[in-house]
Amino acid sequence: MTDRPDGGWTITEIIGRFRNASNATLLAATDAGRLVVYKPEQGQRPLWDFDCLTLPAREILTFEVSEAAGLPCVPVTLPVEGPFGPGSAQELIDIDEEFNPAPLIDRADPILWQAATLDLVINNADRKAGHVITDRSGRIWCIDHGVAFHAQPKLRTVMWGFSGRPLPNDMVAAVARLAESLDRRLHARAEQLLSGREADALAERVERLLAEPVHPFPPTDRPPLPWPLW
């Protein structure tokens, strides 16, 4: 996939910019001949509760967590060097522009369990409806995970329709795989990309979810929904 020691890509061309994005989000080409969404560290707007320079690293760790758990709903996301500095690069999905996730979200369709389970373990603070997309084959993908992995509870999601439902067996198995990977190497990787505190919090969330594999109810002490919802 890449010859770089860190397993990442190098940006060779900037093609355009996604103007609707709140942070610098660029369409680019890599040395591996891939079209990617490039998010440089220096292009992220300041946030009160997240270090903005770490947002690309959180995107990368989300992909690595999804792979370790066997939840293949996140496009390949790797470290990248580019003309605007280091950041993350995610493979561009040829999306189905006609897809509307709202009906699936409204009825908490089981097809969204991968996304809902991933959000629980990464503590996703910004699961908007528009972050659930499909490609031309109908496969569901999840994007935009820059505000995740906070050490404090931050879950903000449109997926509360799953509240109180037991995780399906295959999702419990995915969380168990993630726990094994954390024991082996992923905890150290989370420390490397973020911090020991956030790595420990990730492991604790996984342990709690295995002990009680049920989707939680919305919190009452903080906003449970992202804004805007889309």
Q: What is the pLDDT of residues 109-157, one digit of tens each?
A: 999 999 999 999 999 999 999 999 999 999 999 999 999 999 999 999 9
Cβ–Cβ < 8 Å for 6, 79: yes
Model pLDDT, residue 86: 95
Model pLDDT, residue 45: 81
Residue 60, CB half-sphere, CA atoms under 13 Å: how many?
Answer: 27
Spacing of C-alpha 53 from chain mean position: 16
What is each CA distance from 184 to 137, 181, 204, 221, in whole angstroms? 35, 5, 15, 35
Query: Taking the CB of residue 107, how many other CB atoms lie within 10 A of it?
Result: 10
Length of the chain equals 230
- Report the predicted TM-score, pTM, of the whole model to 2 decimal places: 0.95
Domain borders along the chain are: 49-74+93-211
Model pLDDT, residue 24: 82
Per residue in 19-33, pLDDT (tens digit) is 877 778 999 999 988
Per residue in 48-62, pLDDT (tens digit) is 889 989 999 999 999
pLDDT of 99 > 90? The answer is yes
pLDDT band at 6 (very low <50, low <70, confident <90, very high): low
Q: Tokens 């505000």 map to which residue?
A: 147
> Of the candidates 193, 176, 178, which has an alpha carbon nearest to the alpha carbon of residue 56?
193
Cβ–Cβ < 8 Å for 225, 140: no
Q: Which two tokens stand for residue 63?
A: 């992909």
Average model confidence (pLDDT) for the chain? 94
Average pLDDT value for residue range 203-219: 98
Model pLDDT, residue 20: 79
- The least confident of 41-50, 177-186, 187-196 is 41-50
